[in-house]
């Protein structure tokens, strides 16, 4: 089946693949050839796909997935390979988020800080650094 991963900036991936697994808003999704058509929201997380017997990964931002007629289209805010992720930047982001979450300042957006913390943790786990 065809897999396309698109971000606002670029076509991150276009491959014929055997399977796709990614983070839906209600849990992990698995798509195999001849899957029924559907549209769903996606959360930030790892997109895994199998091509020619080997598994590959992208770290994708939130977005949408559409599956139809043996085609998987993933529209996300970002798509990063392991080489794209800056470990030090992710560690700094995690520390900033923890600091904001621990702050007593009532002007701190706790939801935003929590989301930033989750993204930083995912990036570090994606690289095996956490």
CATH code for position 34: 2.60.15.10
What does the alpha-carbon distance between residue 62 and residue 115 come to, in Å, rounded to a whole number? Answer: 11
What CATH number is given to the structural domain containing 94? 1.20.5.440
Same domain assignment for residues 102 and 119: yes
pLDDT score, position 14: 97
Residue 33 gets the label, from left (phi > 0), alpha (psi -120 to 50) or beta, of: beta
Is there a single domain that holds both residue 45 and residue 12?
yes
pLDDT surpasses 90 at 130: no
What is the extent of the structural domain holding 92?
Answer: 85-126
Backbone angles phi, psi at 98, to 5 degrees: -60, -40
Q: Are 74 and 116 found together in one domain?
A: no
Residues 55 and 117 in one domain: no
> 103: which residues sit within 8 A by CB, 6+ positions away?
none
% of the chain surpassing 70 pLDDT: 100
pLDDT band (50, 70, 90) for residue 127: confident
Q: Which helix (H) or strand (E) holds 28?
A: strand 27-31
Phi, psi values for residue 85, rounded to 5°:
-85, 125
- Specify whether 39 is located in the same domain as 10: yes
> Could you give the CA distance from residue 74 to residue 7 in angstroms, rounded to a whole number?
8
Q: What is the pLDDT of residues 56-105, one digit of tens each?
A: 999 999 999 999 999 999 999 999 998 988 899 999 999 999 999 998 88
* Predicted TM-score (pTM) of this structure: 0.84
């Amino acid at each position: 089946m065809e897999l396309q991963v698109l971000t606002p900036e670029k076509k991150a991936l276009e491959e014929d693949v055997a399977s796709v697994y990614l983070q839906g808003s209600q849990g992990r999704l698995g798509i195999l050839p001849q899957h029924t058509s559907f549209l769903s929201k996606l959360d930030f997380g790892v997109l895994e796909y199998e091509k020619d017997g080997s598994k590959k990964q992208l770290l994708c931002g939130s977005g949408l997935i559409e599956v139809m007629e043996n085609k998987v289209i993933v529209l996300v805010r970002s798509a990063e390979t392991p080489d794209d992720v800056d470990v030090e930047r992710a560690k700094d982001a995690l520390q900033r988020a923890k600091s904001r979450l621990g702050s007593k300042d009532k002007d701190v957006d706790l939801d935003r800080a929590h989301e930033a913390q989750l993204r930083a943790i995912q990036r570090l786990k994606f690289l095996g650094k956490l």
